[in-house]
């Protein structure tokens, strides 16, 4: 019995050290990881806005997009700045009657194709940082359960942020055809063509759809894409993942201790 009491006392001291000292050390590590992640984003993601002071100072990237299978059905050169494509030159093969022609369209500098995925990921990252910052070194946690609830809240934001980049929402054919971003293209593309820029993990992708519309029915007759790797997206995803691992490791330690009766 004495051995059991001694073991419980040892576990209780370990819990007190973990909750009183180690938690804040790990939260500092998580805060550092998320701050580094924020620095990769070319939009405001730090709660105080330190990572971006003026949208005009965001460096633009001029990028040539390539076909993953080497086909030349579509070619595209884009200028990416922040969460927007604010210039693009797009050429693609288009059939008119029996002949194929090269159709050219552009996104001009005074128009922008918004990449909502980047904005969404940045918003979730900002929320995670605000949650971490709300429990600084002066905060006294009352129990291990309270810490686990905090970690769950942080991880929820991080999973949503990472998912915004790695798991693009599938759009319906109706959404693709009626995408309001299509209005920034000049000249407008033919009615049987739909274009979609989106993020998938570390890649920026442009998908081109040849569609056949009969009444309310829309069918895709062909799909082509070009893509390019955007390095800062890859860095951001890695840092999202690292922060999740840091949260999970701390949560696992606390969960093991909370399995013992008399500890909370």
141 falls within a domain: yes
pLDDT of residue 98: 72
159 falls within a domain: yes
pLDDT of residue 231: 92
- The residue segments making up the domain with residue 74 are 2-258
184 falls within a domain: yes
Angle ∠(247,147,256) on CA atoms, nearest 5: 75
37 falls within a domain: yes
pLDDT of residue 53: 42
Mean pLDDT by 10 residues, the chain (264 residues): 56 70 90 94 67 58 87 90 92 82 90 93 95 87 89 98 94 88 93 95 95 87 94 96 97 82 53
The domain tally of the chain equals: 1
169 falls within a domain: yes
Q: Is 239 left (phi over 0), alpha (psi -120 to 50) or beta?
A: alpha
pLDDT of residue 6: 60
264 falls within a domain: no
């Amino acid at each position: 019995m004495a051995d059991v009491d001694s073991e419980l006392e040892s576990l209780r001291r370990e819990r007190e050290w973990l909750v009183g000292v180690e938690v804040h050390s790990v939260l500092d590590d998580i805060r550092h990881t998320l701050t580094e992640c924020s620095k990769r984003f070319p939009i405001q993601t730090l709660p105080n806005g330190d990572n971006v002071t003026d949208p005009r100072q965001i460096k633009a990237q001029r990028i040539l997009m390539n076909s993953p299978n080497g086909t030349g059905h579509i070619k595209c050169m884009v200028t990416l700045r922040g969460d927007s494509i604010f210039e693009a030159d797009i050429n693609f093969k288009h059939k008119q009657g029996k002949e194929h022609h090269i159709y050219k369209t552009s996104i001009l500098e005074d128009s922008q194709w918004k990449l909502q995925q980047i904005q969404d990921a940045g918003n979730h990252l900002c929320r995670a940082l605000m949650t971490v910052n709300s429990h600084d070194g002066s905060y006294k946690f009352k129990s291990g359960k309270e810490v686990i609830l905090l970690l769950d809240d942080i991880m929820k934001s991080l999973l949503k942020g990472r998912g915004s980049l790695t798991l693009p929402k599938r759009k319906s054919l109706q959404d693709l055809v009626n995408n309001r971003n299509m209005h920034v293209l000049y000249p407008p593309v033919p009615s049987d063509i739909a274009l979609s820029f989106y993020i998938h993990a570390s890649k920026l992708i442009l998908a081109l759809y040849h569609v056949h519309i009969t009444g309310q029915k829309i069918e895709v007759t062909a799909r082509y894409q070009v893509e390019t790797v955007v390095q800062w997206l890859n860095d951001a995803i890695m840092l999202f993942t690292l922060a999740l691992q840091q949260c999970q490791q701390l949560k696992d330690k606390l969960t093991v201790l909370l399995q013992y009766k008399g500890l909370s």
